[in-house]
Amino acid sequence: MLFYLLCSADRGTALGIPPMGLSSAGYYGHIFWDSDTWMFPPLLLTHPDIAHSLVAFRRRTLEAARANARANGYRGAMFPWEADELGQETTPYFAVQNAHSEIHISGDVALAQWQYYLATGDSAWLAREGFPVIRETADFWVSRASYDSLRDRYDIKNVVSVAEGLIGVTDDAYTNCVARRNLEIGAAASRRLGKQANPLWTKVAARLHLPVDSTSQAFRTYEGAPDSTLGVITPLLSFPLGVPMSDRVKRTHLEQALARLEQEASGAMMGITLLSVDAAELGERALVDSLLPYGYRGHLRGPFLLLSETPTNDAVNFLTGAGGFLQQVIFGWTGLRLGESGLEPAFPPVLPSSVGRLVLRNLQVRGKRLDVVVDRSGRRILPHRDRTSR
C-alpha cells in the first residue's frame, strides 16, 4: 500500500495527492482532506521528504485560501473542499453545498502542519511555512463561529458533516472538535515561536460547544442529532483528532460504529480502517482481529491488488484507504503517537492474533532513524541499523 502512495507523490513538488492518486481521473484529480488526514501521516514517518510536498502544497496555496475566505465573508484562510493545483475551489456544481459548508478541511490542513512540526522538530520551518497556515486557519474559525450570549458559548452553524448526507447542521462533532484543535494548535505554535497569539483563539476554543449526551457523556453526531446517526463520525474524534475522553466514552463510540457496520455489512475503506485504531487503544485484540478483514477484503482488485473505495464499486487505487490501512498499523498496532517529544508511547501495543511480530524499519523522527519492533513481549524503539549489518 505504501508503494502505491509513493507512486503518486514525490519530494519537492508542493502538490497534494488526489483520492485515486495519479492513476485515473477519479474525483477529477482534486485534492481533498484525504491528502492531509489519511495519506500524509504514514508518509510523514516513512518518507518525510515526500510528506513535505503535501504540507508545502497548502502553504503554496494559502493566498487562494485567504481569497476563498474573503469571498465567503470570513477572515483568515478557508481551504477549499476540492482544490485544483492552484488551490482554487473546484467542487463540482452537484456538490456545491460541500464547497460552502464542509469546512472541517481547514482544521485538517492545520493539524497536518502541526504534525509535520512534531515529527521534524523544525522550528525554522514552523515559523516560515507552517505557522502562517495555522494562524490563518485559526482566524477563520474565530470568524466562522457564532457567539450565543444567552448560553455563553460559540456554535458553528450550517455545516456539512464528515458524513456528507448530513447537510446544514449545527455543531457537527468532528467539525467543532477539529476547529478547537486548530485554535489550540495556534496558541501552542505561538508559544513555541515566542509570538503573541490572538487572544480570541483560546476564548473561542474554551467556549466552542461540543454536542455531548448529558447521560452517557458520549458525543452526538451534531447538536440535536437523532439516534439514527450514532457512530457515523464519532470514532474519528479519538483518532486522528486525539480529543480527550474516557475509555468508556471511546468504547461507546466504537460500539455505535460497529453496530452500523454490522447493519450495513460494508462501507468505505477509509473509515473502517481507523476503527481498528480505536479498538487497539482500548486493548481489544478480538476487535482488532475482527476489523482487520473489513479493511481490505472485498477492496482488492486484480491483477495488481489495487484498492477500491468500497467493496461494491470499482473506483480503484483508492489511496485514501491505503493511508488509513497504514495508519492502523503505524499508530494502532504499535500504540505510538506523535507528541511534544516526537514519537511517543500512548498505550500498550496490540497486534492482531495473525501477526506474531511487526517491524517498522527506518522511521524518521526528529532527524533520527528508528526501528520499531512489536511482538508478544512488548514494544521496542531502537536506533535504525542497515539490514546488511544485522
Active site residues: 164, 309
CB atoms under 10 Å from CB of 65, counted, come to: 26
Q: Count Cα atoms within 13 angstroms, Cβ side, for 270.
A: 19
Three-state SS across 81-142? CCECCCCCECCCHHHHHHHHHCCHHHHHHHHHHHHHHHHHCCHHHHHHHHHHHHHHHHHHHH
| Peptide bond before residue 303 is cis, with ω within 30 degrees of 0 | yes
Residue pair 373/380 in contact by the 8 Å Cβ criterion: yes
**Alpha carbon 339 to its chain's center:** 15
Amino acid, single-letter form, for residue 121: G
- Kindly give the residue spans of alpha helices, DSSP state H, lying in 215-318: 235-238, 247-264, 269-281, 285-291
Residue bearing cell 524499519? 361
Cα 9 to Cα 39, 54, 250, distances in angstroms: 10, 8, 34
CA distance 381 to 366: 14
CA distance 110 to 115: 9
Closest listed residue to residue 326, CA positions, set 121, 47, 115 = 47
CA distance 137 to 269: 28
259: left (phi over 0), alpha (psi -120 to 50) or beta: alpha
Q: Could you tell me which residues come within 8 angstroms of residue 377 by beta carbon, excluding any fewer than 6 positions away?
A: none
Would you give the DSSP letter of residue 62?
H
Cα 207 to Cα 98, 200, 212, 220, 238, distances in angstroms: 26, 11, 14, 17, 20
